[in-house]
Amino acid sequence: MRACAAFFVLLNALLGTGSANAEMKLLHQERSLYRNIFVTQDGDERCMTFRYPRSLGRQSCKLLHDPERIIFQYTRMQLGALFLNPNPKRVLIIGEGGGTIPAALQEMYPQAQIDVVELDAAVDSVARAFFDFKPGPKMRVHISDGRIFVKRMAEQRPNYDLVFLDAFEADYIPEHMLTREFLQEVKATMSPGGVIAANTFSHSALYDHESVTYRDVFGPYFNLKHANRVILGRNGGVRPGDLPLAWKNATQMQAGFAARGISSLSVAARLDPRIDWNPDTRILTDQYSPSNLLNALPRREQ
């Protein structure tokens, strides 16, 4: 009997059906123009998700007792963009979620002009109501499709020093924000040497297609992987001196990252310039962005 009981305890732990899930509370739910939005709380952890009760696919989470702590590994890796440009003046963030990256950058760089683009006004409302997201005077939240916003801004040449791409639906990135044309429009908004950090999957049917598409537009870039993949590149391509520069800046930024529960040196250690994809794979374009491949994607880390 003891062996049987131990087996079921282990099975519950492996399946994630233990007491933690039983204690999860649904704080809020609504149907927006685009999706269902749920806010859950499991002990001290509050999360936004587009699917419930499925635990994977969370869009944003925070710890109530330590709200500045950044939980998701992909978010930590995206902030590695600061190692390539530690003094940004203008920042573009596509995909608001609970406002984790905008809030962190607003505190770290109070003089930086930050544009946050979110398709769904309901996501912005939930971020403010349940995740204490408070845009300051230097931050503007634009309720817009990310591609439409980028196309409009490209004509104005805003010279963004940092661009963060984190626009996810329930399953993956919208198709029209995967293509070469979209990335070319993003590139047109960036300053010379500006840095892009894009959240993607580390394993998917689109991996090779995404890889060659980003390289076609931005040249050589770094991969950072921990369940998700973050593509970290430059306008003009990663340069030979960027890796030692990143380590130098990561060392200098240890205290600021540690305040958010991040080891800056651990993030820097994930910078990988190697090509681990088939370079002959077809580039994603507005004419070729096959939705059938999206059906083969695994769920995202969160």
Residue 145: exposed, middle, or buried by beta-carbon count in 10 A (0-12, 13-18, 19+)?
A: middle
Sequential DSSP letters for the chain: -HHHHHHHHHHHHHHT-SHHHHT-EEEEEEE-SS-EEEEEEETTEEEEESSSS--S-EEEEEETTBTT----HHHHHHGGGGGT-SS-SEEEEE--TTSHHHHHHHHH-TTSEEEEEES-HHHHHHHHHHS-----TTEEEEES-HHHHHHHHHTT---EEEEEE----SSS--GGGSSHHHHHHHHHTEEEEEEEEEEEESSSTTHHHHHHHHHHHH-SEEEEEESEEEEEEETT---TTHHHHHHHHHHHTHHHHHTTT--HHHHHTT-B----S-TTSPPP-SS---HHHHTTPPPP--
Residues classed as catalytic: 166
Which residues lie below 8 Å from residue 126, measured CB to CB, with a gap of 6+?
Answer: 28, 30, 37, 39, 48, 98
Cα 72 to Cα 3, 86, 108, 193, 235: the distances in Å are: 36, 21, 18, 27, 26
